[in-house]
A and B are shown apart, each in its own frame.
Chain A
């Protein structure tokens, strides 16, 4: 499973990277609430949340382009939706709503880019998420890579054996590939289940306990929360 990189985590030692993952998740929830809350000045709200996101991205030392590359599909979708809103009753408000969703996705991606998945799972468990949900997310994360791996192998196998292509031929190949991919993923999932059982899995993925957040974590989170609250009041 090499040659491509689906993992959003971008290692680093920035303040954002080192911030307690539980506080990051709580800030993300707060940020999403502020960004999506109805506002009388939606464009101001969008500008504010975008600025906060940009600031946090800069603080994380992650080039915005690297995040944007991972958001490419979402940006395309948001662009198409934003075009649609131009024909609505209030184009500015429509565009701001679409923009808000994109900004929340950006913030979520920033959290996952600055936090290893293991820490996110531990944070979820630490915040009291049901063990079944944590286990489901851990297995879903693994299956994402397994599925991508199967998809790449399927496409590679088809490419080397079907060099001449036409639209009808491509459509047929895509159909065959999807069927093959579904079968391969089902078999992979079965083998994964065997592996989990063979290693004593009983419905709960063990997560590492996290240390208590330090004063720096609390200070940084309080500052971010205060900025969010002030911004919320200003653009309410």
Chain B
């Protein structure tokens, strides 16, 4: 275990959706504790599916280990306290009618006392610059603001590994810069699925290129993203 974050190890992940479409084929990857890895790829390459599979929300072949422990052998509270996920669309993630309650939802579900959960929620809202919206109804916020609330919800759980699906989508340039700074300082391992290649360059030291559900390249971010022929060949 590393204080900087949890390690993630995926081995032979495959996912086939009902209807027969295979979204992931034998994907293996390793994310070291504290490492920040970008998952890039064209639309439909399998980035979101990979994150859902890593989070244990989709079933399929292969295994996922967090800090050396297989996630299927862990209890849900144990797994969720260790591994957080932020969905692409914040409307999928926000479930409570008041912003502060929504951010505190995860910690409360993990059995944290109400006072601690609210305190963690306030800290998380402050970290994403949304303290002023604590008492507002989330559906009254703009898309970008809801996105930040969704990220706060994951931060409040104190996860040691975070999976983020298109975290910068819908954010204005200032919020995007703030988000990058925030994610850089997080004491957690990050796996970021994104089309935002600049964000990948600024935030991640390693990039994995997914294409048609398979790993097409895995290496230092600049090496992968500067290879124009490689990106072109895989629809980027």
Interface residues of A (CB under 8 A from B): 1-2, 7, 116-118, 138-139, 141-142, 145-146, 149, 188, 191-192, 194-202, 204-206, 208-209
Contacts and interface: CB of A to CB of B under 8 A. Distances in A.
Contacts of A202: 76-77, 109
A19 to B, nearest CB: 19
Tell me the dominant secondary structure on chain B's binding face. Answer: helix
Q: State which size class the interface on B falls in.
A: 20 to 34
Nearest to B118: A208
B166 interface: no
Contact of B97 (A141, A195, A197): A141
B84 A198 contact: yes
A118 B101 contact: yes
B57 interface: yes
Contacts of A208: 101, 114
Interface of B: 52, 55, 57, 76-77, 80-81, 84-85, 87, 89, 91-98, 101, 104-106, 108-110, 114, 117, 137, 139-140, 142, 153, 157
A10 to B, nearest CB: 12
B157 A118 contact: no
B139 to A, nearest CB: 4
Contacts of B55: 198
A117 B117 CA distance: 20
B142 to A, nearest CB: 7
Given A2-B139, A199-B157, A200-B76, 10 more contacts: A1-B91, A2-B142, A118-B96, A138-B96, A191-B87, A191-B89, A191-B92, A200-B106, A204-B109, A205-B105
